[in-house]
A = this chain, B = another copy of it.
Amino acid sequence: MNIRTICLAILAHGEASGYDLKKNWEDGPFSYLGGASFGSIYPALARLEQDGLIKSREETQPGKPARRVYALTEAGREAFVAEMSVTPEKDIFRSHFGIIALCTPFLPRETIARAIDERLKQQRTEIAQLEPLIEQEQHRSVGWLLEWGIAQFKNEVAFIEANRERLEVLAGSTKPGDRREICGIAHTDSTQAAE
């Protein structure tokens, strides 16, 4: 699912400028679905227009620079429906916190404790930012998605609070790079393992 598809999806909600798209990702309810930079959005919009999937008009506004507002064409509506109708791709997910947690045995307990504290703080901040948006979006797909995301964040906070001790005690037990195996898996050439 590339940026062009995402632009189509947002434009399905209503016409918007490139700046609007960026602001929606950053501040709006889309933010936790992943970002999109200006460096992606403007070329994507240009190409979508070139392909006839969106059309644009210049809009002058008092007190602000002129902006170029994009809207779906009929062909764009069809392309949008087509791309939303395929089997959803797997999520793209990468977690710095996860990597740090994975390396707990090779790091001092203090480092792990701080990473956990920061993580809890970050996830609680996310919740605090998303929760007030729900009210005005009840009985709407955006509201449902907000609840979906908030439920995930809350679940993670609860898990970490309940289990952090079990991770922290593992800290600092090993020197980095000492062991020959990776996670007890990986080594397919070891003697066929147990069983």
- A residues within 8 Å of B by Cβ? 1, 5-6, 9-16, 20, 23-24, 27-30, 32-34, 61, 64, 71-72, 76-77, 80-81, 84-85, 87-107, 111, 115, 118-119, 122, 133, 136-137, 139-142, 144-145, 147-149, 151-152, 155-156, 159-160, 163, 166-167, 170, 175-186, 188-189
> With the chains together, A152 CA to B156 CA distance in Å?
7
Minimum CB–CB distance for A136 against chain B, Å: 6
Option from B27, B96, B103, B186 in Cβ contact (under 8 Å) with A12: B103
Number of copies: 2
CB distance from A79 to the nearest CB of B (A): 10
Contacts of A186 in B (CB 8 A): 16, 20, 23-24, 28
Name A155's contact: one of B11, B34, B152 (CB within 8 Å). Answer: B152
Contact A145 B98 (CB under 8 A): yes
- Per the bound structure, the CA–CA distance linking A111 and B85 in Å amounts to 6
Residues of B within 8 A of A178 (CB): 14
Distance, CA A12 to CA B179, complexed state (A) = 8
A30 x B152 contact (CB < 8 A): no
B-chain residues with CB within 8 Å of residue A182 when the two chains form the complex: 10, 13-14, 16, 20, 24, 28
Given A23-B186, A85-B107, A145-B102, residue A34 in contact with residue B139 (CB < 8 A): no
What are 20 A-B residue pairs whose CB atoms fall within 8 Å in the complex?
A: A1-B94, A1-B96, A9-B102, A9-B103, A13-B179, A14-B177, A14-B182, A20-B182, A72-B177, A77-B176, A88-B96, A88-B100, A88-B118, A93-B93, A105-B140, A137-B184, A139-B170, A141-B167, A148-B160, A151-B156
